[in-house]
Structure 1
Amino acid sequence: MRKLRMLIEIERQAGFGPITAVFLAVFALCSVAVWLADPATNTLGDGLWFSFQAVSTIGFGDITAAGPVARVTTVVLSVVSIFYIALITGVVVSYCNAMVRARQEGTLAHFMDNLERLEDMTPEELAAFSQRVHEYRNRR
């Protein structure tokens, strides 16, 4: 449960929800634009499939951007998707870093580091350190 809360907090700090909504709106608009403007795209499903291929860079080639509107739409969707995928990567990396930090906080090395800098700690840090020591004692 703690891991899930940590992931949700990282997503919230990154603005993942609103950015995902914008990405999905751009994806839908581009799919509709390709469907309406490109003669090779017969259905909305074909427009969605074409957009998915552009976002994922798969590009099977079964549906191609033949008209100028479809080509411009492909460029826009590709650029937006690059930034969105970078955001997803950043969220995953932040989550992994937070997990590593959480594991390190409970290690003996971290405890020893805190002991070495007792004089430099603020009263809040001392209280938190004391609380962790009490929690550790109670677990044993």
Structure 2
Amino acid sequence: MCKQVQITHRKPVKDENRIAGTLIGGLVGGALGNQVGGGNGKKIATVAGAVGGGYAGNQIQKNMQQKDTYTSSEQRCKTVTRSHDRVVGYDVQYKLGDKIDTVRMSQPPTSDRIPVEHGQLVLATAPVAITPAVVPAN
């Protein structure tokens, strides 16, 4: 049994180290940090802004790469096993003299006796009503 399923894949990443995001974030962060304070405080703010911006840019690019996906359709199959019983004949037990034996008949028996001629069963007429012989399907 098969069915079509939708599979979501992540697109291949071109910039695994997220250098572009880190550089752009660092430049923006450094420029913003440069707007703060004056003198040595301005230098420290510029460096801190560049480091923080670089980290933020790296994480933003990472999130964008993880969400960059496409969907395809694939066929998924599984094996289904079904079995059933079917009647293949009727096992009829009989006694002839001291011997007890079983014979398989293709039709259900219609009486409680099997005719015998010359010591042999006559199976043209149906004998005793017995439970059907059931063979499990392969």
* Structure with more of its chain in strand, by fraction: 2
Task: Specify if TM > 0.5.
Answer: no
Query: Given the two structures, how large is their TM-score scaled by the length of structure 2?
Result: 0.29
Identify, as 1 or 2, the structure richer in helix.
Answer: 1
